Structure 1
Amino acid sequence: MTVAIIDYDVGNLKNVETALKSLDMDCVITRNAKTIDSASAIVLPGVGAFADAMNNLDKYDLYDVLMKNVKNGKTLLGICLGMQLLFDESSEDGEWKGLGFVPGKVIRFEDTKKTGLKVPHMGWNNLNIHQPDDPIAKTLSDKDYVYFVHSYYAVPDHFDRDVVAYAEYGVKVPAIVRRDNVIGMQFHPEKSAAVGNQLLINWKEFIS
């Protein structure tokens, strides 16, 4: 079983690779279509701006590759910005089309003067388990903390259907989403110590 970590110049690739290899997962950082097609699952990391990320997916001819593989049932895991790209659109510095795997949009946290909360949402926050029976959430509890760094958050069209776990930060922030074979984690599991490690184990078992 090989995991393809998508290399599109917008990601913390090495840390994700190290985390997966620590779980004895065979993985490769790649933008080669044939390598992605032959992989058992795909990881889409991401750090930075939504528009730049989507432009780079087009630049490296990865958009159609992702579409084809997800349509064929392959599991895709989006991390941080990679999760936001799974949605229909984002309002980050304009209006931008996403991959459209999960219905909904990505918006900015409200002005800090209104909420009293700092933006970006950065640091440790606990997960509220919305779908405890989901295989990605097994072993998790509401006392588990993970590490976030983001100024924008997803607003799913179907919160109850697609949100596995959320964090509270002035609003309910989707932390883990899943629609069939497409999974997103807004936080960084590779930086979330034992809880993040367990989530990656859960994901490994999900794709096995």
Structure 2
Amino acid sequence: MIAIVDYDVGNLKNVYTALGDVGLEGVITRDKKVLEDAEAIILPGVGAFSDAMENLRKFELIDCLDANIKKGKPLLGICLGMQLLFDKSYEDGEFPGLSYIPGEIVKFSAPGIKIPHMGWNNLIINRDSPLVRNIGPEDYVYFVHSYYAKPINFDDVVAYAEYSVKVPGIVQRDNVMGMQFHPEKSSTVGLQLLKNFKEILS
């Protein structure tokens, strides 16, 4: 069973449906016991970084996430959920994140580019990982975001997209993983990525 964290900032139903499409049983929850018992945790997210962190605090979920990460349980952050995995964000101020992956969330700043970065981009593999098995340069995924991750160590980036800079699309540090794009909105490529996540759990 995969726990999809319900903290009022998420694309929960689509993620739940996509898990079912690859044969994973999901449950939408903020119950700490369910999170504790889950095989893995997915942290979705749509909206503002500061609101998301405030809601995790409000529902007293941060200590629970920390404890599960320390035990080695796989966690996958999606879109805003991936950004929360980093140390801090500069979205509308400066706000601390969960600090599972060293780095910051910053705004696109190149002159002339459209913000938000919205649409389909292919992924460029930066390093080997089971997460990108059967994924190649011709495979496109769907992004919608105005801020992107700047990890301290680029080896934490499994795959990136080019959009004025190298935009981390998939990150991984040990059992903590993230996808900046929406796998649940990325057609067959997104389902392949979720199948790869499933294989990691088996």
TM-score calculated relative to the size of structure 2: 0.99
Q: 2:178 pairs with 168, 184, 188, which one?
A: 184
The 3-state SS of whatever aligns with 1:68 is: helix
Deviations 1:81-125 (A, max 9, x none): 0000000000001110000000000000005xx1x2100000101
- Match of 2:32? 33
Q: 2:198 pairs with 191, 197, 204, which one?
A: 204
- Match of 2:165? 171
- Match of 1:4? 3
Q: Which amino acid aligns with 1:135?
A: P
Aligned mates of 2:17, 2:140 — CA distance in 1: 21
Deviation at 1:24, TM superposition (A): 1.5
Equivalent positions of 1:94-173 (< 5 A) are 94-110=93-109, 114=111, 116-131=112-127, 133-159=128-154, 161-173=155-167
Deviation at 1:27, TM superposition (A): 1.0
Deviation at 1:71, TM superposition (A): 0.6
Deviation at 1:26, TM superposition (A): 1.1
Is 1:15 aligned with 2:9?
no
Identity of counterpart residues, as a percentage? 63
Equivalent positions of 1:72-83 (< 5 A) are 72-83=71-82
Q: Which amino acid aligns with 2:118?
A: M
CA contact (8 A) 2:45 2:79 kept: yes
Backbone CA RMSD of aligned residues: 0.6
Q: Which amino acid aligns with 2:106?
A: I
Q: Which amino acid aligns with 1:154?
A: A
Equivalent positions of 1:59-74 (< 5 A) are 59-74=58-73
- Match of 1:43? 42
Aligned mates of 2:185, 2:62 — CA distance in 1: 27
Q: Which amino acid aligns with 2:58?
A: K
Unaligned ranges ≥5, structure 2 = none
- Match of 1:84? 83
Unaligned ranges ≥5, structure 1 = none
The 3-state SS of whatever aligns with 2:131 is: coil
Provide the aligned length of Structure 1 versus Structure 2: 202
List 4+ stretches of structure 1 deviating above 6 A. Answer: none
CA contact (8 A) 2:21 2:191 kept: no
Aligned mates of 1:134, 1:18 — CA distance in 2: 25
